[in-house]
Amino acid sequence: MPTLLWFRRDLRVHDLPALLDAAESDGEVLACYVLDPKLQATSGARRLQYLYDALRDVHEQLDGRLLVTRGRPEQRIPALVKQIGATSVHVSGDFSPFGKRRDAAVREALGEIALEEAGSPYLVSPGRVTKDDGTPYKVFTPFFRSWQSHGWRSPAQTTATSVRWIDPADLDGGVDIPAGDTELEYAAGERAARAAWKRFVKDGLADYEEDRNRPDLDASSRMSAHLKFGTVHPRTLAADLGKGEGAQAYLRELAFRDFYADVLHHWPRSAWWNWNRTFDAIEVDEDAEARKRFELWKAGKTGFPIVDAGMRQLAETGFMHNRVRMITASFLVKDLHLPWQWGARWFLDQLVDGDMASNQHCWQWAAGCGTDAAPYFRVFNPDTQGKKFDPDGVYVRRWVPEYGSADYPAPMVDHKAERAEALRRYEGIR
């Protein structure tokens, strides 16, 4: 009997447990993707472009046998099930608040037809790693130790030929994959992801621990967007990681990704509200003047070179180096005293790799209101950070070519004074 494989954040054919499960039915499989208007309306142009390009990659790998349809999943998936007489629907688990609501609606609409979950976008699915008493971890370091002890499966052995695919040409409801009109800095899709990872393992992994905080060096793997869309699974990456310092530093970053997904799973409110509710009372600026400062920050015209370089890299490419993300976030929250949610929303709009769990909780780390919060008095000095991590000014010169000339603005605030003001506000909620 036929089954349905519904792609979501798993736009690949290798290492796909849901495909493995679909293959066990011994029947033909319809591969589909639902373009949900809700997601399209809330995704930045670059993330949509990546999505469309990744869908084309899957479509090509399946020799044109990916059905792309548009509409609400709770309507489109049951309609496709009815068309082909499917006995089950196979998906990768989605643990985001949006994903859980969507899947609950689809399950209800499917009635007796099973929505079968297999795997997730993570090495260890949210909710699996807990304390001995079954409660979730609130601090990364003990989570990391337990996460390592828990372990994960080897990559699933799947390819484009693992099942017999249904040709969707004669089915109703298909639409063309949108072309999009946004240029991406790096190629999207599974084949591009696998090639990029192979290059990084060969040329960058050994030095990752030493160089990963240097935005002036081409030292990051640039796998974040691929992981966001599931064009590569972290299991595939972890399988190539040995015992070296670079490899272990990279594994720790994958653990952070799992940790923040776990936090969002247990505390869905933390997507847009302070995880530490004490910070609900902290004084932030939201008036017209604050909006002006926000626009200068977005435009990379703050007068602080490392901040401006990061914001311009983001605006031009849809990417920002992780160290610079921390610097720009600290500046927005603690030098400009603006709500972290403003910055988080802008990042989600601009970033190709914009991921709700990682983005929101990294912003809360910078703001001091999340799990593993940096002490609030740890305020990044943008000038010191620039000298330490961009010592020769290579990164700044690339993105702020007018730096050092009369055209470059003076610093928009006095960092020392604003640090003192940030600490004053913090004292008000202690």
- Is the predicted pLDDT of residue 245 greater than 90, yes or no? yes
**pLDDT tens-digit readout, 115-133:** 999 999 999 999 999 999 9
Task: Show the tokens assigned to 160.
Answer: 């484009």
Question: 135: domain range?
Answer: 123-155+190-266
* pLDDT for the residue numbered 167: 96
Kindly give the residue spans of alpha helices, DSSP state H, lying in 13-125: 17-23, 37-42, 45-61, 73-84, 97-110
Question: Residues forming the annotated binding site for FAD?
Answer: 208, 220-224, 250, 253-260, 353-355
pLDDT band of residue 377 (cuts 50, 70, 90) is confident
Count of the separate structural domains present in the chain? 3
Q: What is the pLDDT of residue 237?
A: 98
Examine the domain organization and report whether 262 and 282 are in the same domain.
Answer: no
Of 120, 143, 178, which one is at a domain's C-terminal end? 120
Q: Quick one: 245 and 139 in the same domain?
A: yes
pLDDT for 406 equals 96
Verify that 25 and 103 share a domain, yes or no: yes
Please compute the mean of the pLDDT values over residues 346-367 and round it to a whole number. 96
Establish if 406 belongs to a structural domain. Answer: yes
Residue 142 pLDDT more than 80?
Answer: yes
Same domain, 31 and 101: yes
Whether 173 maps to a domain, the answer reads no
CATH, residue 26: 3.40.50.620
55 and 129 part of one domain = no
390 and 359 housed in the same domain: yes
DSSP letter string, 194-233? HHHHHHHHHHTSTTHHHHTT-TTSS-S---HHHHHHTSS-
**% of the chain at pLDDT higher than 70:** 100
The answer to whether residue 182 is domain-embedded is no
Return the pLDDT at 40: 86
Task: Give the pLDDT mean for 176-192.
Answer: 96
Task: Give the pLDDT score at 373.
Answer: 66
**Considering only 22-26, 111-115, 126-130, 236-240, which range has the smallest mean pLDDT?**
22-26
In the block, tokens 């730096």 appear at: 403
Question: What secondary structure, in 3-state letters, does 182-200 show?
Answer: CCCCCCCCHHHHHHHHHHH
How much is the average pLDDT of 241-249?
Answer: 95
145 and 58: one domain? no
- 183 occurs within a structural domain: no
Q: Are residues 75 and 140 in the same domain?
A: no
What's the pLDDT score for residue 372? 75
- Is residue 9, in this structure, part of any structural domain at all? yes
| Averaged pLDDT, 70-87 | 97
> Is the pTM here over 0.85, yes or no?
yes
- State mean pLDDT over 351-358: 96
Shared-domain flag, residues 201 and 221: yes
Annotated binding-site ranges: 208, 220-224, 250, 253-260, 353-355
CATH of the domain at 139: 1.25.40.80
Residues 312 and 228 in one domain: no
pLDDT in tens, 401-416: 999 999 999 999 999 9
- Pair 115, 22 in one domain: yes
pLDDT over 80 at 34, yes or no? yes
* CATH number, domain with residue 290: 1.10.579.10
3-class DSSP state for residue 68?
strand
Q: Are residues 102 and 140 in the same domain?
A: no
